[in-house]
Structure 1
Amino acid sequence: MTTSLVDIGVNLTNSRFDKDRDLVIARARAAGVKEMVITGTSVDESQAALRLCEHDPDLYCTAGVHPHDADNVSADYLQQLTRLCSNDKVKAVGECGLDFNRNFSTPANQKRVFTEHLALAAELQLPLFLHQRDAFDTWQAIINEQRHALVGGVSHCFTGNLQELKQVLDMGFYVGITGWVCDPKRGQELYDIVRYIPLDRLLIETDAPYLTPKNIRPRPKSSRNEPGYLPHVADTLASAMAIDKHVLITKTTENARRLFQLNGDM
């Protein structure tokens, strides 16, 4: 029997899933994606993610505030995240990090909120679900200030260059690869460097409803990505790394269960 896949980053609380969320989950299971980690991007979205998890033994989630929302955190947001993280279904602190590409929140607030997330993860001894875009040096410097106290994490939706990849690995993190690697225009550089990721540090994710893999044939009518498309990411990634797809699936599933302390059966 083929090992099931784990989608370590899916935005199942997104409104684009409101009309057919149960069907999306069913299609994912039919495609071999048994377990999913739902991304928390704000206090409200983290609470919604946890509510979804409480009704399904194979759903888990993270709790955190995306850098886009750093300007809008409440005075007690850390207390709220702490309460959420006390639930066994919450497996990581995040999505957290820096995004200087669009600066929906000020860099100053992004850095403050990110630093607070790192301290929370260290206090609770939970892994991190990390975001970074156009902010690598600052992101790395902030992490390094608290790295000695952290238990690890994943650089979610990694799209950087080889130097950044090697630095992420040197920091002790796992690397999350999405359908970006399936895009021959935007993702060629990533395709060329994923072979440098050790198999015991590799994770795969859809980041649905975003980043629909470009290698799906026939192309889906909707632009919405789904966790059921994760096998297409695995196909391209196995090709790029020149390894057997079943080996890749087995290893990434083992890695996900180790990092997030999942309790599913192989």
Structure 2
Amino acid sequence: MSKPELDSDGFQKVKSKRISKNKPTKIPRRDIEFDKLDLDIDVDKTIRRIYCAVDDLRLSSYLEDVIKSVSSILKDRQIVEIVCLGLGHIGECNISKHQLALLLCLRDHCKPSKVLVHDPIFYKKECEVLKKLGLEVVLENKEGGYVISDEGPTLVYLPHCPKQLTNNFLWSNWGINLENCVLVCNSFHSLIDNQPSRILSETVPYIVKIFPHTSEVTLTNNFKFTDIFNDTSIHYFTKENLEQIESDFWVKGDKPTYENTEEFITSLMVKQLNI
């Protein structure tokens, strides 16, 4: 079997099954990145480059569309927190820098009381960068198991994250309180349309179950770098839709487990590497 083709950012190029004029979708080669030693990156230079990425976004119609869509969903409600999982190596990867730039722009617009970030592959110096940018770094790998606030909307940002992480997040918040979630991640519609329903039902059942009750805003991929926000949508769950669901729908089982996947970094994997 030939080795996967990697680009300069350490991302695996994956050709879409659909016939499309767009560039191939990129997914993080997390097994490769995860095995790297902790690198001593230049903190100040990294921050300058991130602010350059912020300037790129502020001049773009893409950010304008994102903010307009989020504001339309929220109406008069105020975001109380932003949770971001899976940014990747912000010190090395251009895609990660721009995804972080979107997070910073959303923070500046929404003005939440806190912004939490986590990725099990962050270098120590990358954590230092994030803290200097005013973000709170969560060190524990809860595998997407963050429970959102019930005091107001939480914006959950999972940029190009594995579907298992999104599935775990939904499992952790399974219930009517999903009305307090604005979820920015890979498109549910795209996932459902492009993968066999039987496999999805077995591997990510909570995405499959909530999909019919989800409102999705598809974002036009018009940023100047088309491989950064491709396949990204905004998902939300209206109170009206959720209240129409029968109560037994919300019964959930044990925490999901996954087999034969390299894209999803579990807490056990981290623990084994730290022994």
TM-score normalised over the length of structure 2: 0.33
TM-score normalised over the length of structure 1: 0.34
Normalized per residue, which structure has more helix? 1
Which of 1 and 2 has greater Rg? 2
